[in-house]
Structure 1
Amino acid sequence: MKTAYIIFVSYCLFHLSAGARQIIPLYPEGKIPFAFEKTEIPKLTIFKPSKDRAKGAAIIVCSGGSYGGRANSVEGIPACIKINEAGITAFLLDYRVPSSTLMDRKEIVPLTDAQRAIQCVRENAKNFKIDPNKIGIMGFSAGGHLVSTVGTRFATTTLDNSKNTSLRPNFMVLIYPVISFADSLTHQGSRMNLLGPSFTKEQINYFSNELHVTKLTPPTFLTSGIDDKVVDVKNTLYFAAALKQHNVPVELFLYEKGAHGYGVHNRQAKVQWIDDCINWILEEKYNPKK
């Protein structure tokens, strides 16, 4: 990371008061990977807890939107606020929405942006006053597909990573996630927006994340509604089963009624997944050494 970027981050943090939101561009020093001249600017919005409440943990939050948009107002922002209230630093990631008119290799652009977010947060952990070994990533719906791709593809990247910074999140949180691109499981709109109408068997395999779980896949908290008619709950169940088969710690929170898109508050339930999730994070139940 160059000196100019460190100065930029320090400046942002100096002006960041408790409860304020500061925006940091993901690529402040040069060309945005795979971007054409006219492009969308990916960024992080920081939700920083007050000093007396800060726990040292951090979560990068990825809203859903079928890879055609980002549902920040109903998913990402409420999640960041709730997480923030618990003393966890939240980073709302505005990853680029795949577009063949704005970028090359659009199918790997969201992954590249999410990996860059992890790289940025981890390399600047001291400035952000967080523990570099307590950095998680959360995703809703198609954002869950992005996050599960991050969790199964952290060993390879197209980024410049001269410091060999680990791109592996310490834990993942997946909310009614798209996991598979197989015909029998996938959300058609998400697959279409990421890959387009023409795709190969190899691409389907590559982006079916239940097939790529290993013992190094990060511990995961999963939640979904059994009655979800938009993204089949089997996406969640298959991923949880794959994690179990590789002895990866997994916490599964299912709703009898929840449908799709309930965000941080399921109005059809008395007990909310976000409360259990925050306890899981703060008590470090994701850490197999505990």
Structure 2
Amino acid sequence: MTYYFFSFGRYMPFIKKLSFYGVMLLTFYVQGSKAQTNIPLYPDNQILFAKEGTEIPRLTVYKPAKMKSDIAVIVCSGGSYGGRANDWEGIPACKTLNDAGITAFLLDYRVPNPTRMQHKEIVPLTDAQRAIQYVREHAAEYKVDAAKVGIMGFSAGGHLVTTVGTHFGKTALDNPQSTSLKPAFVIAVYPVVSFADSLTHWDSRNNLIGPDITSAEIKEYSNELQVTVDTPPFFLVSALDDNVVKVENSLYLEAALRQCEVPVELYLYAKGGHGFGVNNKTVSKQWTAPCMKWILSNKWKISNNK
């Protein structure tokens, strides 16, 4: 084995000539890496419903360079409940929130898999509820308001967050502090909402429940049917030409929210298809600007799980 030894002395003249901008770039990189902290979702890896070989769900904290708000947003990428499109959806969304001065938490929820977990159909919901519970119970640590924790999701992640927004009274979590699991608000981008045959995204439905889904399960996980007057406010985004997840998923949910007089904003694109994330390349004006304004301009509050 050969060892190589280097002396920094011979390189000192070169190091001293590093430009101011190079040093600043290095500083920015180091600070940026510190701003992102990975947190196991469950204490001591006591992961609910886990079997041997389970993946470890986690939160990644994205802190803005300058906080402009005490609001926090948990972000859930899509992926048909078969994966998580973090690079395309979740991470850019967290950075967009940071640019608006908002603290973001990227959630790596577990993808339903019967060989790695029990009760796979409620595992993503349980992980998302645990994320809300964690952020609320550690709000002071992150300098956010526990009453102002919202959640954002894309595609199948949109189904997850609309489930969070309509099923907050049901949980498998231990909750000794009676922490509210109701998000202050929900942002759903080209979301899967319904599991009805005429509307659903089949891969998402099959991955979460399976092909032997019952009529009761279809109703339970069709979130447009689960809206009540206690459902939190929604911001919905879809494109009319989405040929993967029908725009009617958002339209039916909007109608249900309005019927219950729940505040809702719907941002519709004429074009864009599915999976455009934070940047619909067919247009010049993005949904993110009015969404950030919507988040920052509202005085969010929560009640208990009622």
Q: TM > 0.5 between the two?
A: yes
Cα distance in 1 for residues equivalent to 2:299 and 2:48: 36
Note if 1:157 corresponds to 2:171: yes
Cα distance in 2 for residues equivalent to 1:45 and 1:156: 25
**What is the deviation of 1:30?**
4.6
Q: Is contact 1:54–1:89 with CA below 8 Å preserved after alignment?
A: no
Q: Which amino acid aligns with 1:24?
A: I
Q: Which residue does the alignment assign to 1:10?
A: none
Relative to 1, partners in 2 of residues 1:45 and 1:27: Cα closer, same or farther, differing over 3 Å?
same
- RMSD of aligned residue pairs (Cα, Å): 1.6
Note if 1:227 corresponds to 2:209: no
**What is the deviation of 1:85?**
1.0
Cα distance in 1 for residues equivalent to 2:58 and 2:301: 29
Cα distance in 2 for residues equivalent to 1:64 and 1:160: 27
Poorly superposed stretches of 4+, deviation over 3 Å: 15-19, 285-288
Note if 1:95 corresponds to 2:109: yes
Note if 1:145 corresponds to 2:182: no
Q: Is contact 2:148–2:300 with CA below 8 Å preserved after alignment?
A: no
SS at match of 2:146: coil
SS at match of 1:29: helix
Note if 1:81 corresponds to 2:95: yes
Query: Which one of 52, 66, 72 corresponds to residue 58 of structure 1?
Result: 72
Query: Which one of 255, 273, 277 corresponds to residue 241 of structure 1?
Result: 255
Note if 1:113 corresponds to 2:127: yes
Q: Which residue does the alignment assign to 1:37?
A: 52
TM-score by length of 2: 0.86
Relative to 1, partners in 2 of residues 1:269 and 1:17: Cα closer, same or farther, differing over 3 Å?
closer
Q: Which residue does the alignment assign to 2:145?
A: 131
**What is the deviation of 1:37?**
1.8
Relative to 1, partners in 2 of residues 1:81 and 1:108: Cα closer, same or farther, differing over 3 Å?
same
Q: Which residue does the alignment assign to 2:294?
A: 280
Relative to 1, partners in 2 of residues 1:200 and 1:283: Cα closer, same or farther, differing over 3 Å?
same
Cα distance in 2 for residues equivalent to 1:163 and 1:30: 20
Higher helix share: 2
Query: Which one of 284, 297, 300 corresponds to residue 270 of structure 1?
Result: 284
Can you give the 5+ residue segments of structure 2 that lack an aligned partner in the other structure? 1-29
**What is the deviation of 1:222?**
0.3
Note if 1:194 corresponds to 2:208: yes
Q: Describe the superposition over 1:32-69 as per-residue Cα deviations: whole angstroms up to 9, x where unpaired.
A: 1110021100000000113x434111100000000000
Q: Which moved more, 1:252-261 or 1:278-287?
A: 278-287
**What is the deviation of 1:156?**
1.4
SS at match of 2:43: coil
Q: Describe the superposition over 1:243-262 as per-residue Cα deviations: whole angstroms up to 9, x where unpaired.
A: 00001000110000010000
Cα distance in 1 for residues equivalent to 2:211 and 2:264: 34
Cα distance in 2 for residues equivalent to 1:287 and 1:258: 33
Query: Which one of 248, 252, 268 corresponds to residue 254 of structure 1?
Result: 268
Q: Which residue does the alignment assign to 1:3?
A: none
Q: Which amino acid aligns with 1:284?
A: N
Q: Which residue does the alignment assign to 2:42?
A: 27
Q: Which residue does the alignment assign to 1:46?
A: 61
Give the greater-gyration-radius structure (CA): 2
Q: Which residue does the alignment assign to 2:232?
A: 218
Q: Is contact 1:24–1:43 with CA below 8 Å preserved after alignment?
A: yes
Cα distance in 1 for residues equivalent to 2:178 and 2:299: 27
**What is the deviation of 1:16?**
8.1
Q: Is contact 2:81–2:207 with CA below 8 Å preserved after alignment?
A: yes
What is the total number of aligned residue pairs between the two structures? 273
Q: Is contact 2:50–2:118 with CA below 8 Å preserved after alignment?
A: yes
